[in-house]
Amino acid sequence: MNQLETLNADHNLLKKVPALPRKKLRSIDISHNHIEGEIGHPVVVIPPCAQTVNLSNNKITGLSKSFGFELLAKLRELNLDDNQITQLPEEVKHLKKLICIKLKRNKLVTGSIPKQLLEDTLVNRIELEGNEVDLKCLSNLSGYDAFMARRKLRIDSTISAGISVVDKD
Protein backbone atom coordinates (compact mmCIF):
# COMPACT_ATOMS: atom_id res chain seq x y z
CA MET A 1 0.00 0.00 0.00
CA ASN A 2 2.91 2.42 0.58
CA GLN A 3 3.68 2.44 -3.18
CA LEU A 4 0.11 3.43 -4.14
CA GLU A 5 0.06 6.68 -6.17
CA THR A 6 -3.60 6.84 -7.24
CA LEU A 7 -6.68 5.86 -5.27
CA ASN A 8 -10.02 5.75 -7.04
CA ALA A 9 -12.81 4.90 -4.61
CA ASP A 10 -15.62 6.72 -6.39
CA HIS A 11 -19.21 5.44 -6.53
CA ASN A 12 -19.07 3.45 -3.32
CA LEU A 13 -21.05 3.86 -0.14
CA LEU A 14 -18.19 5.37 1.87
CA LYS A 15 -19.21 7.50 4.83
CA LYS A 16 -15.66 8.24 5.94
CA VAL A 17 -12.14 7.82 4.68
CA PRO A 18 -9.63 6.74 7.31
CA ALA A 19 -5.92 7.51 7.17
CA LEU A 20 -4.54 6.67 3.75
CA PRO A 21 -0.99 5.63 2.86
CA ARG A 22 1.27 8.62 3.45
CA LYS A 23 4.25 7.89 1.21
CA LYS A 24 3.38 8.32 -2.48
CA LEU A 25 -0.37 8.81 -2.82
CA ARG A 26 -0.77 11.76 -5.24
CA SER A 27 -4.31 11.48 -6.59
CA ILE A 28 -7.41 10.64 -4.55
CA ASP A 29 -10.93 10.30 -5.95
CA ILE A 30 -13.62 9.65 -3.36
CA SER A 31 -16.42 11.31 -5.31
CA HIS A 32 -20.00 10.00 -5.48
CA ASN A 33 -20.03 8.54 -1.97
CA HIS A 34 -22.02 9.20 1.20
CA ILE A 35 -19.61 11.48 3.04
CA GLU A 36 -21.63 14.13 4.81
CA GLY A 37 -21.42 17.05 7.17
CA GLU A 38 -18.42 19.19 7.94
CA ILE A 39 -15.40 17.10 7.14
CA GLY A 40 -11.98 16.82 8.69
CA HIS A 41 -10.14 14.38 10.89
CA PRO A 42 -11.24 11.57 11.50
CA VAL A 43 -14.00 11.52 8.81
CA VAL A 44 -11.64 12.28 5.91
CA VAL A 45 -7.88 12.16 6.38
CA ILE A 46 -5.91 13.35 3.34
CA PRO A 47 -2.20 12.48 3.31
CA PRO A 48 0.27 15.39 2.98
CA CYS A 49 1.63 14.07 -0.33
CA ALA A 50 -1.75 14.43 -2.12
CA GLN A 51 -1.73 16.72 -5.15
CA THR A 52 -5.30 16.24 -6.43
CA VAL A 53 -8.32 15.39 -4.32
CA ASN A 54 -11.83 14.84 -5.66
CA LEU A 55 -14.57 14.95 -3.03
CA SER A 56 -17.36 15.92 -5.44
CA ASN A 57 -20.91 14.57 -5.29
CA ASN A 58 -21.09 13.86 -1.58
CA LYS A 59 -23.08 15.73 1.09
CA ILE A 60 -20.27 17.78 2.52
CA THR A 61 -21.37 21.00 4.23
CA GLY A 62 -17.94 22.42 5.01
CA LEU A 63 -14.30 21.86 5.86
CA SER A 64 -13.40 21.91 9.54
CA LYS A 65 -10.13 23.19 10.94
CA SER A 66 -9.18 19.54 11.52
CA PHE A 67 -9.13 19.06 7.71
CA GLY A 68 -5.37 19.61 8.04
CA PHE A 69 -4.91 22.58 5.71
CA GLU A 70 -1.41 23.38 6.97
CA LEU A 71 -0.30 19.78 6.34
CA LEU A 72 -1.43 19.68 2.70
CA ALA A 73 1.63 21.44 1.33
CA LYS A 74 1.48 19.70 -2.08
CA LEU A 75 -2.25 19.97 -2.81
CA ARG A 76 -2.74 21.61 -6.23
CA GLU A 77 -6.35 20.80 -7.09
CA LEU A 78 -9.37 20.34 -4.82
CA ASN A 79 -12.71 19.35 -6.32
CA LEU A 80 -15.71 19.96 -4.06
CA ASP A 81 -18.37 20.27 -6.79
CA ASP A 82 -21.94 19.15 -6.08
CA ASN A 83 -21.91 19.21 -2.31
CA GLN A 84 -23.75 21.41 0.19
CA ILE A 85 -20.89 23.67 1.24
CA THR A 86 -22.01 26.98 2.69
CA GLN A 87 -18.68 28.50 3.74
CA LEU A 88 -14.96 28.15 3.12
CA PRO A 89 -12.76 28.68 6.17
CA GLU A 90 -9.89 31.20 6.28
CA GLU A 91 -7.55 28.23 6.74
CA VAL A 92 -7.56 27.70 2.96
CA LYS A 93 -4.70 30.20 3.03
CA HIS A 94 -2.45 27.35 4.20
CA LEU A 95 -2.90 25.54 0.88
CA LYS A 96 0.15 27.29 -0.58
CA LYS A 97 0.40 25.16 -3.76
CA LEU A 98 -3.33 25.13 -4.53
CA ILE A 99 -3.99 26.44 -8.03
CA CYS A 100 -7.51 25.15 -8.73
CA ILE A 101 -10.55 24.84 -6.48
CA LYS A 102 -13.83 23.54 -7.89
CA LEU A 103 -16.95 24.52 -5.96
CA LYS A 104 -19.72 24.27 -8.56
CA ARG A 105 -23.31 23.70 -7.40
CA ASN A 106 -22.86 24.18 -3.66
CA LYS A 107 -24.66 26.62 -1.37
CA LEU A 108 -22.09 29.38 -1.37
CA VAL A 109 -22.96 33.06 -1.34
CA THR A 110 -20.68 36.02 -1.98
CA GLY A 111 -19.55 36.46 1.64
CA SER A 112 -18.64 32.79 2.04
CA ILE A 113 -15.47 33.04 -0.07
CA PRO A 114 -12.61 34.19 2.19
CA LYS A 115 -10.28 36.86 0.84
CA GLN A 116 -7.36 34.66 1.97
CA LEU A 117 -8.16 32.28 -0.90
CA LEU A 118 -7.47 35.15 -3.31
CA GLU A 119 -4.61 36.79 -1.39
CA ASP A 120 -2.55 34.04 0.20
CA THR A 121 -2.60 31.17 -2.31
CA LEU A 122 -1.51 30.51 -5.89
CA VAL A 123 -5.12 29.86 -6.94
CA ASN A 124 -5.71 30.94 -10.52
CA ARG A 125 -8.91 28.98 -11.15
CA ILE A 126 -12.04 29.05 -9.00
CA GLU A 127 -15.16 27.38 -10.34
CA LEU A 128 -18.29 28.80 -8.70
CA GLU A 129 -21.05 28.12 -11.22
CA GLY A 130 -24.37 27.19 -9.64
CA ASN A 131 -23.79 29.19 -6.44
CA GLU A 132 -25.25 32.53 -5.44
CA VAL A 133 -21.97 34.40 -5.66
CA ASP A 134 -22.15 37.94 -7.03
CA LEU A 135 -19.10 38.47 -9.23
CA LYS A 136 -19.20 42.23 -8.68
CA CYS A 137 -19.02 41.78 -4.89
CA LEU A 138 -16.34 39.13 -5.29
CA SER A 139 -14.30 41.55 -7.42
CA ASN A 140 -14.31 44.02 -4.51
CA LEU A 141 -12.53 41.57 -2.19
CA SER A 142 -8.96 42.28 -1.24
CA GLY A 143 -6.75 40.00 -3.34
CA TYR A 144 -9.11 39.83 -6.33
CA ASP A 145 -6.70 41.78 -8.57
CA ALA A 146 -3.84 39.42 -7.67
CA PHE A 147 -6.10 36.43 -8.41
CA MET A 148 -7.07 37.89 -11.79
CA ALA A 149 -3.40 38.53 -12.66
CA ARG A 150 -2.59 34.85 -11.90
CA ARG A 151 -5.62 33.77 -13.92
CA LYS A 152 -4.56 35.90 -16.89
CA LEU A 153 -1.03 34.51 -16.72
CA ARG A 154 -2.41 30.95 -16.79
CA ILE A 155 -4.64 31.70 -19.76
CA ASP A 156 -1.87 33.54 -21.62
CA SER A 157 0.58 30.69 -21.07
CA THR A 158 -2.00 28.17 -22.30
CA ILE A 159 -2.56 30.20 -25.45
CA SER A 160 1.17 30.68 -26.13
CA ALA A 161 1.82 26.99 -25.55
CA GLY A 162 -0.55 26.22 -28.41
CA ILE A 163 1.09 28.60 -30.87
CA SER A 164 3.92 27.35 -33.01
CA VAL A 165 6.05 29.65 -35.08
CA VAL A 166 7.18 28.39 -38.46
CA ASP A 167 10.28 29.97 -39.93
CA LYS A 168 9.79 30.22 -43.71
CA ASP A 169 13.44 30.96 -44.48
- Cα 138 to Cα 15, 93, 114, 141, distances in angstroms: 33, 17, 10, 5
Separation CA 167–CA 20 (nearest Å): 52
- For 102-139, the pLDDT digits (tens) are 999 999 998 899 999 998 899 999 999 999 998 888 88
Is it the case that residue 86 has pLDDT exceeding 90?
A: yes
Reported pTM? 0.88
